[in-house]
A = this chain, B = another copy of it.
Amino acid sequence: MEFKPILDHQAEAPLYRQLFDQIAGQIRSGQLSRGERLPATRELAGLLGLNRTTVSAAYEMLETEGLISGQVGRGSFVTSPPSAGGRVVDWGPLLERSETSAPGFSTGLSASSISFAVSRPSRDLFPLDEFRASCAAVLARQDLADILQLGSPSGYEPLRRYLMEEARRQHVASPGDDLIITNGCQQALDLIGRVLLRPGDTVAVEDPIYTGLKNLLTGMGAQLCGVPVGPDGMDAAQLERVLERERPRFLVVTSNFQNPTGATLPLPARHAILDAARKAGVPVIENDAYGELRYRGESLPALKQLDAHGGTVLLRSFSKVSFPGLRVGWAVGPRPLLDRLRNAKEAADLHTDQLSQAVLLEFAESGRLESHRARMLRAGSERLAATMEACREFLPPGARWTRPEGGMNVWVRLPEPLDAGELLARAQREGVAYLPGRYFAVSRLDPGALRLSFAGLAPERIRTGLAILGRIVSGELESASRSFEPSPAMV
């Protein structure tokens, strides 16, 4: 490479600009070709009798223009002029098909605000010392290196065995069943979709249903068919008609404390749902992320336990009851399906993180999970009671809400003609957030509905938040009723 720019020290244009212009010109004209290496700044400065910062400034401009590309310790290389012919990757059309309906929800709240928007446990309840003790036990283990080594798509074997034994003990694993560890319930649903769904297939889900499942399935090209959820969960009679009419590829149903309604299926409904699914030959995906968080009432057998026909897969998780930042859940179900889920898991991300699997196993086996769960149940019970009481005290007559027996969510319906989506901006301005019903609607949009996620808030915060919300709602209701008053006759 003959490379000797000629600079005019008397010219008006600064030297770095002259240097930039000359090199850029040589690149654009092809005199300097792609892949060629430019002299180091120090070297070129010496060659031209310039200050090194002058050369650096010119190089920086060249890089900003996309003409060269620098690498630490290796100098700068000519890339190519962006103005050159040929096509450039145009991401717009390539990405068209993957446009999702993700709400991109942002609460726009300050840290001092009261957010009922996220269904997760309170960070203040995390048992940090117990967590540290579990980590310490894992780190002290002889087989630590095995945990750090590449693992199995089925999961960390000691944890898988532990969960399988638990599942057998709870009678949710049949002899023909297997278990796979996933990154929370969300990934289990994803893997099931990958294995069972073809674009255009229909999936029967609860209506309303949480956004994460809606986005996942529609993102896979599935048609969602919503089955109404009442105070007692999915309506089994409607489900039967839907299964008959739509023949969905599978059904996703929440047995306990459904997100967003908080509803739990009573025993007869569980049997009716299983019967309907069996008659239609439709697999049942039982989503039970919240099942361990029952604050009152008696626990009921899982659909998986009641299903003697091997048509149900049960999904559970550590995330809701312990640490959501550690992504470990599992699926129990018939071996032929589980074999495929394992292949899908391997393709998706090889296996679930083993450090967290080992720590959660230690947390569970040491009894710390169970003590923590007892504390979570006490706290959840108080928070649920505070929510119920505050709803009664602060929401105006005509408002309705569910009465969950556990979990993290209550479903509220404001009196007509209020729109929970329209009220949100005002609520946020006054320091309270929630998710309006439209985030959860499949085909039935109830404008007055909203979800209150109460588990992350201390009772007094719940009370304060609902007092604010109640005041806003009552005020809006009053002005709405005024605006509906018949106008006096024009005289």
How far does the alpha carbon of A151 sit from the alpha carbon of B184 in the complex, in Å?
Answer: 13
Is A347 in contact with B86, judged by CB distance below 8 angstroms?
A: no
Is A278 in contact with B89, judged by CB distance below 8 angstroms?
A: yes
Is B198 in contact with A219, judged by CB distance below 8 angstroms?
A: no
How far does the alpha carbon of A77 sit from the alpha carbon of B282 in the complex, in Å?
Answer: 23
How far does the alpha carbon of A79 sit from the alpha carbon of B146 in the complex, in Å?
Answer: 42
Residues of B within 8 A of A190 (CB): 347-349
- A388 located at the interface, meaning its Cβ lies under 8 Å from any Cβ of chain B in the complex: no
Given A212-B346, A344-B98, A301 and B69 contact (CB-CB distance below 8 Å): yes
Given A87-B279, A98-B195, A139-B135, A215 and B82 contact (CB-CB distance below 8 Å): no
Interface centre among A63, A198, A311, A343 (most CB of B within 10 A): A343
- A298 located at the interface, meaning its Cβ lies under 8 Å from any Cβ of chain B in the complex: yes
Interface residues of A in 68-121 (CB under 8 A from B): 69-72, 74, 77, 79-82, 86-92, 94-95, 97-98, 100, 102, 118, 120
The count of chain A contact residues (Cβ–Cβ below 8 Å) is 113
Cβ contacts A175-193/B at 8 Å (1 or 0 each):
0000000111011001000
Is A148 in contact with B34, judged by CB distance below 8 angstroms?
A: no
What's the nearest-Cβ distance from chain B to residue A115, in Å? 12
Interface centre among A123, A151, A275 (most CB of B within 10 A): A123
Residues of B within 8 A of A271 (CB): 34-35, 80
Is A311 in contact with B170, judged by CB distance below 8 angstroms?
A: no
Q: Which residue of B lies closest to A182 (CB)?
A: B349
How far does the alpha carbon of A88 sit from the alpha carbon of B309 in the complex, in Å?
Answer: 6
What's the nearest-Cβ distance from chain B to residue A454, in Å? 16
Residues of B within 8 A of A79 (CB): 306-308
- A402 located at the interface, meaning its Cβ lies under 8 Å from any Cβ of chain B in the complex: no
What's the nearest-Cβ distance from chain B to residue A121, in Å? 8
**Copies of this chain in the oligomer:** 2
- A280 located at the interface, meaning its Cβ lies under 8 Å from any Cβ of chain B in the complex: yes
Is A87 in contact with B281, judged by CB distance below 8 angstroms?
A: yes
Q: Which residue of B lies closest to A68 (CB)?
A: B308
Is B219 in contact with A347, judged by CB distance below 8 angstroms?
A: yes
Residues of B within 8 A of A131 (CB): 139, 144, 148
Q: Which stretch in A49-57, A231-239, A318-326, A377-385 binds the other chain?
A: A318-326
- A61 located at the interface, meaning its Cβ lies under 8 Å from any Cβ of chain B in the complex: no
Interface residues of A in 146-173 (CB under 8 A from B): 146-151, 169-171
Q: Which stretch in A352-360, A443-451, A478-486 binds the other chain?
A: A352-360
Is A334 in contact with B148, judged by CB distance below 8 angstroms?
A: no
Is A171 in contact with B69, judged by CB distance below 8 angstroms?
A: yes
14 A-B contacts (beta carbon < 8 Å): A77-B267, A79-B307, A89-B309, A91-B310, A102-B343, A126-B144, A126-B149, A131-B144, A132-B139, A183-B348, A183-B350, A186-B349, A186-B350, A190-B349
Report A's interface with B, CB cutoff 8 A: 34-35, 63, 66-67, 69-72, 74, 77, 79-82, 86-92, 94-95, 97-98, 100, 102, 118, 120, 123-124, 126, 128, 131-132, 135-136, 139, 144-151, 169-171, 174, 182-184, 186-187, 190, 194-196, 198-199, 212, 215-216, 219, 249, 267-268, 270-271, 275, 277-283, 298-299, 301, 305-311, 319, 323-327, 334, 336-337, 340, 343-344, 346-356, 359
Q: A79-B306, A86-B278, A325-B354 are in contact. List 20 more A-B contacts (CB 8 A).
A: A34-B271, A69-B306, A70-B171, A82-B309, A94-B196, A95-B336, A97-B198, A98-B340, A131-B139, A132-B139, A136-B139, A149-B325, A183-B183, A187-B349, A212-B350, A215-B347, A219-B343, A326-B353, A326-B354, A355-B356
